[in-house]
Chains A and B, each alone.
Chain A
Amino acid sequence: MTTLEATEGQALPGFTRTVTRADLVRYAGASGDFNPIHWSDAAAASLGLPDVIAHGMLTMGTALRVVTDWAGDPGRVLSYSVRFTKPVVVPADGGADVRFAGTVTKVADGVATVAIEAVCGDTKVLGAAVAEVLLG
């Protein structure tokens, strides 16, 4: 395992993912979450949603790539928590662009705390997204 260091305030490289309907179908199969609000226009409309929405866990899982891309070894992730504040609405045409970024907010006892941001349009779609990462 290569050494991993971090400093408080360090910005981690971010990325943008365009989430399409096909991505939602793929995640439904991979995760086993076949809730129709993630693939059926009728189901989404019946709940008053403007369109189908991404699985919150898809957004959560994708966002953690900010940490795993940086850390290299996914086994360094000790904990990860998020609040699902707003849904990612995924139109049939073109999908939705979600921007992900991270900042090291604390380094103590060989563990870095990383605050992760996930933004779609002007909307923060994850709240209080924080991962703890083993350094050294």
Chain B
Amino acid sequence: MPISEDHVGRTYPATASYQVSRAKIAEFAAALGDATCPAYGGDDPVAPPTFAVVLSSAAWDAMFADPELGLSLSRTVHVDQRFAWRRPLRAGDEVTATLTIEKVRARGATSIITIAVDLATTAGEPLCTATSTLMHTAQEAA
């Protein structure tokens, strides 16, 4: 069964908890060419806003591993991305990510899929919602 509107609302178990570290914040800031921004250094750094992708993309794995959907990352194009933050991620935060399928529009072999990943601390504090639109093309045309 390929992905269809029937899968809207499906939620996967939260990812294993991930501890944000000073070293990973520094590594991510450097990858953005932003290593000298003071907010990302020192003893109590915040993460660059788009650091959230480290966690949200980990949550994608559960959906791509779902045999009912028949999805493959190599046939997926990332169309758009949105983040909405409650507060910045900080070194020491213990974070999990939970993916929900919000919308599916299927047309032949191509599906447009909207997913929302909610990031929260293991204590239940909401941190960020990362919403993505993906375009997936099934291997064999319907």
Contact = CB atoms under 8 A, between A and B. Distances in A.
Interface in B25-66: 27-28, 30-34, 37, 39-40, 46, 48-50, 53-54, 57-58
Contact of B87 (A31, A32, A68, A75): A75
B79 A80 contact: no
Contact of B39 (A17, A58, A74, A82): A74
A30 B30 contact: yes
Contacts of B31: 23, 26-27, 29-31, 58, 61
18 contacts: A23-B31, A31-B53, A32-B57, A58-B32, A61-B49, A64-B50, A68-B37, A68-B39, A75-B39, A75-B87, A77-B49, A77-B85, A79-B83, A79-B85, A80-B49, A80-B83, A81-B81, A84-B78
Interface of B: 24, 27-28, 30-34, 37, 39-40, 46, 48-50, 53-54, 57-58, 73-74, 78-85, 87-88
